[in-house]
A and B are shown apart, each in its own frame.
Chain A
Amino acid sequence: MTAICLYAQVHQPFRLRPYGLFDIGTGAEYFDTEQNRALLRRVAEKCYLPANRLLADQIRRSQGEFRLALSLSGTLLDQLAAWAPEVLQSFQELVATGGVELLGETYHHSLASLASEAEFVAQVERHRAAIGRHFGQRPVVFRNTELIYWDNLAPLIARLGFRGVMVEGADHVLDWRSANHVYAATTAPGLRLLPRHYRLSDDIGFRFSNRAWDGWPLTAEKHADWIAASGGDSVHLYVDYETFGEHQWADTGIFAFLAQWPRECLRRGLTFAHPGTLAARAPVAPLAFTRPTSWADVERDTTAWLGNRLQEAAQQRIYGMREAVLAARDPEVLERWRRLTTSDHLYYMCTKWFADGDVHKYFSPYESPYDAFVACMNVLQDLEQSLPVPMVEAAPPALAARRMLAARRAAMV
């Protein structure tokens, strides 16, 4: 009997103001509170509230047969607590049905796994504490930002107490294998890998409303048939939570689909399983990820965030500041810096405009990736010069850049 593992990612970043040269040193706010609040309210109205209600209803009606996993970033939790406490409560009610397993991730939805082990650990632990505080759960399965995972990361995730990881079922990783099994990490044999079935996932996440797609219109019956036909032990469907009502608007029929879909799956003898349950199963085989793999774009690599030199320069500057930020011993400064580690800031600087680039454009508050770069670098300058302790004089820039590239290459081997 094939189990369905449904997981949705819930995240909002703290977007920056169009922070200009003349804002540096003025004490001007980094983050666009007004815009961030407005966007959160909009997504809450269009997605979080109706989707939470619908899912809670489905869980109750199926008497717990239908279940799923959610991962809520810490930046989202902060925004909900500050600007939409009733929405946070709605998530808590959904989790209280018992049908939702919460996953672990970096609190600030960052790329720390690619830059700083210490920062990665700190953010994961902070997230775990927040999930315990808000929901009374201790996550046992981990999802890294944008599903970024590679073999070198596995021992660290295992050491942090997780028994499973959500990973991308990328073709270059699976090759001839099926995504519909539980695999083992090659570098941490106790750690289970649950590869995403990207086609069946993207049918909902990306293609649902695409009239040029030959699968359109996608009905719950049709999708349940496809899942049943794909076979294997477990089908892992991972999407952005904002798929429901925000990326796919209500008028596309996405909520009607979601209301019918669990019943259609159950009717075909499919079951639903939490990632934690699957991660307790014996793996069918080890699965090697020789380089950082994500769920983004057609490349399924990290080039959406670190694919050009601007992004590399910004990332290098962010993490180059960490010691000085910590030395400031100011929780507010630390939080401001950590909000800059959120991957979205680098994503806005992506210059891969073609093919899947339009997706990037849709999600960016900037006119161009260059505007994103300018605002971010100005903010970093302000933060850097406001720190009481000078940054450790870095190696000559060119050398530092080479080192970083070398480290990234080593990480890929």
Chain B
Amino acid sequence: MFGWEFPPFQAGGLATATVGLVKGLLRNRVGVTLVVPFPAEQSPLPELRLVSADGAVEELVMHRVPSPMTPYGGAAEYQEIFSTLRRASRAPGAVYGADLFAEVARYAALAGGIAAREAHDVIDTHDWITFAAGLAARAVSGKPLIAHIHATEYDRAGAGANPEICRREHAGMQAADRVVANSHALKRTCVERYGIPAGKIDVVHWGIDPDAVAPDLPAESPFRARGAGARVPVVLFLGRVTWQKGPDYFIEMAGRVAAHVPGAKFVVAGQGDMLPRLMHRTAELGIADRVHFAGAVAGRQVQRLYRLADVCVMPSVSEPFGLVGLESLRHGTPCILPRAAGVSEVIANAFKVDFWDLDAMTNQIVALLRHPALRAELADNARREVEGPRFSLEEPARLTAAAYTRTLQGSPA
């Protein structure tokens, strides 16, 4: 499997999903050789160790290939990382490609070598950056190739989509023996935008890694209200601060909600190119003292944020799945989900909203902040829903393993 894992402080759904899938596959008794790009300049992560329910260590082989590629790295971001590394002249362990596409090609060449050494039955890949590696591996071993798609370039960049990336996404899905999409919405995109036959695409919704959540963490807010028993309501945005996630709609909403709920605070957690613009906008709206920017958060801090927030909002312009929604609900925090997201296909107990519908969003949030009963009812019901077996790690892995089997048997779904 050509996937992703978390480099320090660079959380993202794609890494969560692939690591979760690996864990789930191992529990389903599917051995995995995981190949991930990992920047040699960073301190190494602890070795991924996985133990099955009955205590037996499953078969996992890890290959960390030195590479500065990131799961969401556009060509420009790669260029920035690359030149930073060059300036630092810390002699990277490998000679990286001068641009993202060169690096993807270099990575693919290394992938071919790994495929020749490691025994395997199926090759699984995760999003376009790894598609080339998967194709190279298939050329070596002749084993069937699965293209797991988590988000397309249209989802990430909309009208600003990079045509070369779109071309590679198309080529990867076209060449793959089978495609796995994480929602019906994303499957539609693959069919309509990329012309992939619907019959070739399986839909497997994501689950949630119980190790990654701490639903019983005490809800310790940094904000203190005046008066006994009073508390500061907190509205949370968590995600990359980029066009795709709609953080600008979050700020607009904050301006409206702030007028209705005077004490409310708004937290934006995440990094991204839109941060400067958002900060200016908070000042313009006169809510600079109401919005706090938490920057990059990881691990325990993410869990704390979910716990201390009264409501989590996902104003995503495009959201193929929306793992934040599951995580938030699992921590007992009601979440406003993007109507068109994959997570909305599988969760009933949540408000669903369109990113452009600020009136509806404001209305829902004000209601949640004003009525503890509504908040509690929604939170409890949603948490029960998310705790169901459907959202375990094993279930999506079982469905994925089934897709592997079907591919091996050469029969369509």
Binding site for B on A (CB under 8 A): 20-26, 308-310, 312-314, 317, 351, 368, 370, 373-374, 377-378, 380-381, 385-386, 390, 396-401
Please state if A22 and B301 are interface contacts (CB–CB under 8 Å).
yes
Bound Cα distance from A23 to B267, whole angstroms: 14
Known contacts A21-B267, A390-B226; A314/B288 CB under 8 A: yes
With contact pairs A370-B275, A370-B276 given, residues A400 and B286 touching in the complex (Cβ less than 8 Å):
yes
The reply to whether B288 and A317 form a contact with Cβ atoms under 8 Å apart is: yes
**Whole-angstrom CA separation of A30 from B222 in the bound complex:** 15
Residues in B neighbouring A309, C-beta threshold 8 A:
280, 283-284, 288
- Docked Cα-Cα span, A20 to B266, in Å, equals 14
- Shortest CB distance A379–B (Å): 11
A287 to chain B, nearest CB (A): 35
Nearest chain B CB to A12 CB, angstrom units:
27
Q: A24-B222, A26-B222 are in contact. Are A381 and B288 (CB under 8 A)?
A: no
Q: A22-B304, A381-B292 are in contact. Are A397 and B285 (CB under 8 A)?
A: yes
Spell out B's residues near A (CB within 8 Å). 221-226, 258-259, 267, 269, 275-276, 279-280, 282-289, 292-295, 301, 304
Contacts of A23 in B (CB 8 A): 222
| A390-B226 Cα distance, complex, nearest whole Å | 7
B280–A308 CB distance below 8 A: yes
Residue of A nearest to B292 (CB): A21
Q: Contact between B223 and A381 (Cβ–Cβ < 8 Å)?
A: yes
CB-based contact B289/A313 at 8 Å: yes
Q: In whole angstroms, how far apart are the Cα atoms of A230 and B152 in the complex?
A: 67
Q: Are A20 and B295 in contact (CB under 8 A)?
A: yes
Residues from chain B with Cβ under 8 Å of A24 in the complex = 222-223, 292
Contacts of B294 in A (CB 8 A): 20-22
Supply 6 A–B pairs (Cβ within 8 Å), ascending by A: A22-B304, A308-B280, A308-B283, A309-B280, A317-B288, A381-B289
Query: A314: nearest residue on chain B (CB-CB)?
Result: B288
How distant is the Cα of A13 from the Cα of B289 in the complex, in angstroms?
23
Name which of B282, B283, B295 has the most chain A CB atoms within 10 A of its CB. B283
| B295 lies within 8 A of A313 (CB) | no
In the complex, besides A25-B224, A378-B292, A381-B292, 9 extra interface pairs with C-beta distance below 8 angstroms are: A21-B267, A21-B295, A24-B222, A309-B280, A310-B283, A373-B279, A374-B295, A381-B289, A397-B286
A400 nearest CB across to chain B (Å): 7
A353 to chain B, nearest CB (A): 11
Q: A385 and B223: CB pair below 8 A? A: yes
Docked complex Cα distance between A308 and B222 (Å) = 28
Which residue among B223, B225, B258 has the maximum number of chain A CB atoms within 10 Å of its CB?
B223
How many Å lie between the Cα of A368 and that of B286 in the bound state?
A: 22
CB contacts (< 8 Å) of B279 on chain A: these are 310, 370, 373-374
Write out the residue numbers on chain B whose beta carbons fall within 8 Å of the beta carbon of A317: 288-289
CA of A380 to CA of B283, assembled, Å: 15
Residue in A22, A313, A390 whose CB lies within 8 Å of B282? A313
List, in ascending order, chain A residues with CB within 8 A of B222's CB.
21-26
A373 CB, min distance to chain B CBs, angstroms: 6
CB distance from B271 to the nearest CB of A (A): 11
Q: How far is the CA of A386 from the CA of B223 in the complex (A)?
A: 10
* A377 adjacent to B304 (CB under 8 Å): no
CA distance A308 to B283 in the complex (A): 9
Across the two chains, which residue of chain A brings its CB closest to B227? A390
Whether the Cβ atoms of B280 and A310 lie closer than 8 Å is: yes
Query: A377, B283: Cβ atoms under 8 Å?
Result: no
**What's the least CB distance linking A226 to chain B, in Å?**
40
Q: Chain A's nearest CB lies how many Å from the CB of B246?
A: 19
Tell me, in angstroms, the Cα distance from A23 to B292 when the chains sit together. 12
- For the complex of A and B, 5 pairs with smallest distance between CB atoms: A397-B286, A309-B283, A313-B288, A24-B222, A313-B283
B269: which A residues are within 8 A, CB to CB? 21
Q: Hey, which chain B residues are within 8 Å of A25, CB to CB? A: 221-224
Contact: A398 with B285, CB < 8 Å? yes
Cβ-defined contact, B286 with A396, below 8 A: yes
Which residues of B sit under 8 angstroms from A368, Cβ to Cβ? 276
Cβ–Cβ < 8 Å partners of B259 in chain A: 396
